[in-house]
Amino acid sequence: MSKAKKNNRLLGSGILLSLTSSLCCLVPILALFGTAGSAMSMFSWIAPLRPYLLAATAIVLVVAFYRAYRPTKKDDCGCAEKKSGMQSKTFLWVITVISIGLSTFPYYAAYFQKDELKQMTGNEQYLNQTIFQIKGMSCAACEGHVNHALQQRKGVQHVTTSFEKGESIVKFDSTKVSLQQLAATIEKETGYKVINVNTNVK
C-alpha cells in the first residue's frame, strides 16, 4: 500500500472514531428533525466506550501529524517529494478541526435544541407533577431529546430533564395524558428506559 493511501486511511480513521464517539449525542439531534428517533437505542451502548474512542482519535491524529511534519525524503535532484492535496498539512488541519468538532459535540449540543414552554391551560386542579427516573442518558443532547418527545404530548405543560441526575420532571394535565402514556412516550421515542416514577412531587 502506498504512503498516500496509508495517510488517507489514517485520517479517515480519525474522523470515523470521533464521529462514533459522539453518535450517542448526534442521534438525538437528528431525532428532533424526525430522522432518527428509532435509532437512538441502537447507539446507547457507545456512551461507556466514549473515553476509549476519544483516546484512539487522539492517537490517530498524533501519528498523522508526525507523518506530516517529519523531514521528507528528497529525490535525485534534491527536490522534496511533492504531496497531493489530501496529503498536505492544510488538509490534515481541516481533518483535525472536524474531528475535534465531532468529539466535543456533547458540550455544545444544547445550542441546537429549543426548550419549549407551553402556556398553562386547563383546570389547575388537574395539573400534576411527577419525576421519571430514566436510564440511558449520557449528555445534554439526551436531555433535549427527552424534552422534545414529551412536549409533543397533548396535556404536557412543562418538562425539565437532567442527564446527570437521570431524571425528567414533568408537569401535565392528568385529564389529557396519563403517567403510563408519558412513560411509554419516553421509551418509544428516545430508546431510554424509565426505571421509576415518583408521583409525590410538589
CATH of the domain at 175: 3.30.70.100
Can you give the residue range of the structural domain that contains 21? 3-108
97 and 186 housed in the same domain:
no
92 and 125 housed in the same domain:
no
Helix (H) or strand (E) holding 149: helix 140-151
pLDDT (0 to 100) of residue 179: 93
pLDDT (0 to 100) of residue 169: 95
Residues 24, 44 contacting (CB under 8 angstroms):
yes
136 and 159 housed in the same domain:
yes
Neighbours of 90 (CB within 10 A): 9
Helix (H) or strand (E) holding 194: strand 193-198
pLDDT (0 to 100) of residue 44: 59
126 and 66 housed in the same domain:
no
pLDDT (0 to 100) of residue 35: 46
Helix (H) or strand (E) holding 59: helix 50-69
57 and 88 housed in the same domain:
yes
- Tell me whether residue 146 is exposed, middle or buried, using C-beta atoms within 10 angstroms of its C-beta: 0 to 12, 13 to 18, 19 or more: buried
80 and 136 housed in the same domain:
no
Q: Write down the pTM of the prediction.
A: 0.56
Interatomic CA distance for residues 180 and 103, integer angstroms? 36
22 and 69 housed in the same domain:
yes
Residue numbers of the chain with a pLDDT score lower than 50? 35-38, 84-85, 117
pLDDT (0 to 100) of residue 30: 54
Listed residues 108, 125, 154: the one ending a domain: 108
